[in-house]
Homo-oligomer: A and B are copies of this chain.
């Protein structure tokens, strides 16, 4: 069994990006620049945004963090986004989700300029992705493709089962794995809350991508010998074995399945770290497309 080491891979990618930024600067071009908007003071959102800003610094990008009060109006946020859309010095813009309930997330995502939508959540980016046209691919699915690619895992003609149909992971990765691309060209089955006989379906999978958010959902009896498992789930559970009193576990019962699979992403340290790396990659792409 081979661990798909997202932490190491993500670090490799950041090094590659950092080297490319240096070469851009050497050519007299400007650094990529990511702007992030954070509304309110949700603790988890704060952590995520800070990690993104830190990652920008690490690879030599400029970054701008716009902090806005919880109580701003939707109209105010729209105006802030339009300002950034028009600001030529900024290449990529993300609005950290979730937003306060009085703000319509869909409207906000639609306001972000498609050329700066490095989260890849804009419907036009999703449409282009679906049609296999150039687009920003949402960071988590992009991270999964990158792991499969770097570990040279064959996807062509393989049975890929995706558990979960969320708009940011399950649905886009199901589309991406079925596209006529490398990685891709899998026979994809998408499974969700209304599906039946989930165990039987999983047992057919050569590649199993799990993005349900249900701790330890996948067990050995659901697997074919030699399956490659991508575990996107992260659940925080109490633990008496850690200093913090908490630990993170995935949607897959790692210890139970480890001898059955050929490849597996650990949690933490699998798909998670890849996400920020892919956001940086999208930002680089946005920056270069303007040259």
A167 lies within 8 A of B127 (CB): no
Asked if A288 CB lies within 8 Å of chain B CBs, one says no
- Once bound together, how far apart are the Cα atoms of A106 and B131, in whole Å? 10
- Once bound together, how far apart are the Cα atoms of A192 and B187, in whole Å? 7
Residues 111-153 of chain A, each 1 if its beta carbon lies under 8 Å from chain B, else 0: 0000000000011111110110100000000000000000000
Asked if A241 CB lies within 8 Å of chain B CBs, one says no
Asked if A195 CB lies within 8 Å of chain B CBs, one says yes
Q: Which secondary structure dominates chain A's binding surface?
A: mixed
- Once bound together, how far apart are the Cα atoms of A125 and B185, in whole Å? 24
B123 lies within 8 A of A175 (CB): no
Q: A interface, how many residues as a size bin?
A: 20 to 34
Known A-B contacts A123-B124, A130-B175, A175-B175; A187 and B165 likewise in contact (beta carbons under 8 Å): no
Residues of A194-246 at the interface with B, using a CB-CB cut-off of 8 Å, are: 194-196, 201
- Once bound together, how far apart are the Cα atoms of A192 and B185, in whole Å? 8
| Shortest Cβ gap from A277 to chain B (Å) | 24
Asked if A13 CB lies within 8 Å of chain B CBs, one says no
Asked if A191 CB lies within 8 Å of chain B CBs, one says yes
Residue in chain B with minimal CB distance to A135 = B123
- Once bound together, how far apart are the Cα atoms of A255 and B201, in whole Å? 31
Asked if A188 CB lies within 8 Å of chain B CBs, one says yes
Asked if A156 CB lies within 8 Å of chain B CBs, one says yes
Q: A201 to chain B: which residues have CB within 8 Å?
A: 187
**Which single member of B127, B191, B195 contacts A126 (CB below 8 Å)?**
B127
Known A-B contacts A124-B123, A131-B126; A189 and B192 likewise in contact (beta carbons under 8 Å): no
B122 lies within 8 A of A127 (CB): yes
| Shortest Cβ gap from A157 to chain B (Å) | 5
- Once bound together, how far apart are the Cα atoms of A220 and B161, in whole Å? 26
A187 lies within 8 A of B191 (CB): yes
B187 lies within 8 A of A190 (CB): yes
B192 lies within 8 A of A196 (CB): no
Asked if A22 CB lies within 8 Å of chain B CBs, one says no
Residues of A173-195 at the interface with B, using a CB-CB cut-off of 8 Å, are: 174-175, 178, 180, 185-192, 194-195
- Since A130-B175, A180-B192 are in contact, a sample of 10 more A-B pairs with Cβ atoms closer than 8 Å, ordered by chain A residue number, is A106-B133, A124-B124, A127-B127, A131-B167, A156-B194, A165-B178, A187-B191, A187-B195, A187-B196, A189-B189
Chain A interfacial positions (CB closer than 8 Å to B): 106, 122-128, 130-131, 133, 156-157, 165, 167, 171, 174-175, 178, 180, 185-192, 194-196, 201
